[in-house]
Amino acid sequence: MDYSVIAKPDISQLKAHPNLDDYAGARASFQWDSIRKELDGLPGGGLNLAYEAVDRHLKTARRTKTALIWEGKNGEEERYTFEQMAQQSNRFANVLTGLGIQKGDRVFIFAERFPELYFAVFGTLKRGAVIGPLFSAFGPDPVKDRLEDSGAKVLITTPDLRERVKDILPQLPELKHIVIMNKNGRFKDALQPGDLNFEDLMAKASDQFQIEATQETDYSIMHYTSGTTGKPKGAVHCHRAVLGHYATGKWALDLQDQDIYWCTADPGWVTGTSYGISAPWTNGATQLIYEGGFSANRWYSLIDKYKVTVWYTAPTAIRLLMKAGEAAVKRHDVSSLRHICSVGEPLNPEAVVWGTRVFDQAIHDNWWQTETGHILVANYPAMDVRPGSMGRPIPGVEVAIVNVETGETLPPGTDGDLAVKPPWPGMFQGYWRNEAMYNSKFKNGWYITGDRAHMDADGYFWFVGRTDDVINTAGHLVGPFEVESALIEHPAVAEAGVIGKPDPIAMEVVKAFVSLKDGYEPSEQLRQELMRFARKKLAAAVAPREIDFLPSLPKTRSGKIMRRLLKARELGLPEGDTSTLEED
Tell me the whole-structure pTM to 2 decimals.
0.89
Q: What is the mean pLDDT of residues 176-202?
A: 95
For 158-177, how does the pLDDT look when each residue is reduced to its tens digit (9 = 90+)?
Answer: 999 999 999 999 999 999 99
Please say if the pLDDT value at position 559 is more than 90. Answer: no
Spell out the domain ranges in the chain. Answer: 11-25+32-452, 471-571
Fold identical between 11-25+32-452 and 471-571?
Answer: no
pLDDT category of residue 584 using cuts at 50, 70 and 90: very low
Q: What is the mean pLDDT of residues 326-342?
A: 96
Distance CA 354, CA 532 (A): 36
Would you state the pLDDT for residue 234?
97
Q: What angle do CA 71, 76, 80 make, to 5 degrees?
A: 60
Would you state the pLDDT for residue 264?
96
Please say if the pLDDT value at position 573 is more than 90. Answer: no
Amino acid at 550: L
Q: What is the mean pLDDT of residues 175-194?
A: 94
Please say if the pLDDT value at position 477 is more than 90. Answer: no
In the chain, % of residues over pLDDT 70: 97
**Angle between the 315-324 and 296-306 helix axes, to the nearest 10 degrees?**
100
Would you state the pLDDT for residue 1?
41
Would you state the pLDDT for residue 450?
92
Would you state the pLDDT for residue 372?
98
Of 25, 4, 55, 82, the residue nearest 251 (C-alpha) = 25
For 30-88, how does the pLDDT look when each residue is reduced to its tens digit (9 = 90+)?
Answer: 999 999 999 999 999 999 999 999 999 999 999 999 999 999 999 999 999 999 999 99
Instruction: Name the superfamily (CATH) of residues 471-571.
Output: ANL, C-terminal domain (3.30.300.30)
Q: What is the mean pLDDT of residues 516-526?
A: 94
Q: What is the mean pLDDT of residues 395-424?
A: 96
User: For 456-492, where are the E strands, in sequence order?
Assistant: 461-466, 471-473, 476-478
Residue 483's CB: how many other CB atoms inside 10 A? 25
* Average pLDDT of every residue of the chain: 94
For 112-138, how does the pLDDT look when each residue is reduced to its tens digit (9 = 90+)?
Answer: 999 999 999 999 999 999 999 999 999
Residue with the bigger pLDDT between 140 and 477: it is 140
Q: What is the mean pLDDT of residues 520-538?
A: 94
Rg over CA atoms, the chain: 24
Please say if the pLDDT value at position 320 is more than 70. Answer: yes
Distance CA 412, CA 257 (A): 38
Distance CA 163, CA 412 (A): 53
Is the CATH number 3.30.930.10 carried by domain 11-25+32-452? no
Q: Give the torsion sign (CA, 81, 87, 93, 96).
A: negative
**What is the distance in angstroms between the CA of the first residue and the CA of the last residue of the chain?**
56
